[in-house]
Amino acid sequence: MIPLSIGEIASILGGRLVPAGSAPEVAPSVDVLATVSAEIIDGSVQTDSRLVTDGSLFLALPGEVTDGHLFADAAVAGGAALVVCERELSLPVPQIVVANGVAALAALATEVVARVRAVGNLTVIAITGSNGKTTTKNLLREILSAQAPTVAPQGSFNNHVGAPISMLGITAQTRYLLVEMGASGSGEIARLVAIARPDVAVVLKVGLAHVGEFGGIDAVQAAKSEMVTSLPPSAVAILNADDFRVASMGDVTAARVVTFGLSESAAVRAENIEASATGTTFLAITPSGSAPVSLRILGEHHVLNALAALSVAEELGLDLAATIASLEAVPRAERWRMEVLTPESGVVVINDAYNASPDSTAAALKTLAQIIRPGERSVAVLGEMAELGEYANEEHDRVGRLAVRLNVQKLVVVGHNARHIHNAAGLEGSWDGESVLVKTAEEAYELLQNDLRRGDVVLVKSSKSAGLRFLGDRLGGVTP
Contact 349, 340 (CB under 8 A): yes
- The answer to whether position 334 is within a domain reads no
Number of neighbouring beta carbons within 10 Å of residue 455:
13
pLDDT in tens, 427-462: 886 566 789 999 999 999 999 998 999 999 999 999
Asked if 108 and 28 sit in the same domain, the reply is no
pLDDT in tens, 26-53: 678 888 889 999 999 999 999 999 999 9
Asked if 227 and 277 sit in the same domain, the reply is yes
Q: Of 306, 329, 352, which closes a domain?
A: 329
pLDDT in tens, 318-362: 999 999 999 999 987 778 888 889 898 899 999 999 888 898 999
Asked if 346 and 315 sit in the same domain, the reply is no
Q: What is the CATH number of the domain that holds 440?
A: 3.90.190.20
Q: What is the rounded distance in angstroms from the CA atom of residue 101 to the CA atom of residue 108?
A: 11
Asked if 135 and 272 sit in the same domain, the reply is yes
pLDDT score, position 220:
85
Q: Of 99, 125, 143, which closes a domain?
A: 99
- The answer to whether position 297 is within a domain reads yes
Does the annotation flag 259 for ligand binding? no
Distance set, CA 189 to CA 34, 195, 479 (Å):
38, 10, 37
Does the annotation flag 132 for ligand binding? yes
> In 122-278, which ranges are E strands?
123-128, 150-151, 176-180, 200-203, 236-240, 256-261, 268-276
pLDDT band at 213 (very low <50, low <70, confident <90, very high): low
Is pLDDT at 173 greater than 80 in this prediction?
A: yes
Asked if 301 and 398 sit in the same domain, the reply is no
Does the annotation flag 290 for ligand binding? no
Q: What is the CATH number of the domain that holds 272?
A: 3.40.1190.10
Q: What percent of the chain has pLDDT above 70? A: 96
Asked if 83 and 117 sit in the same domain, the reply is no
Please measure the distance between the N-terminal and C-terminal CA atoms of the chain and give it in whole angstroms: 33
Asked if 85 and 161 sit in the same domain, the reply is no
Domain count, the chain: 3
Per the structure, the complete domain to which residue 368 belongs is given by 339-475
Average pLDDT of the residues in 221-245: 96
Does the annotation flag 366 for ligand binding? no
Q: What is the CATH number of the domain that holds 42?
A: 3.40.1390.10
Asked if 208 and 299 sit in the same domain, the reply is yes
pLDDT band at 208 (very low <50, low <70, confident <90, very high): low
Q: Of 83, 99, 115, which closes a domain?
A: 99
Does the annotation flag 263 for ligand binding? no
Does the annotation flag 130 for ligand binding? yes
Does the annotation flag 131 for ligand binding? yes
- The answer to whether position 470 is within a domain reads yes
Among the residue ranges 18-32, 88-102, 247-261, 379-393, the one predicted with the least confidence is 18-32
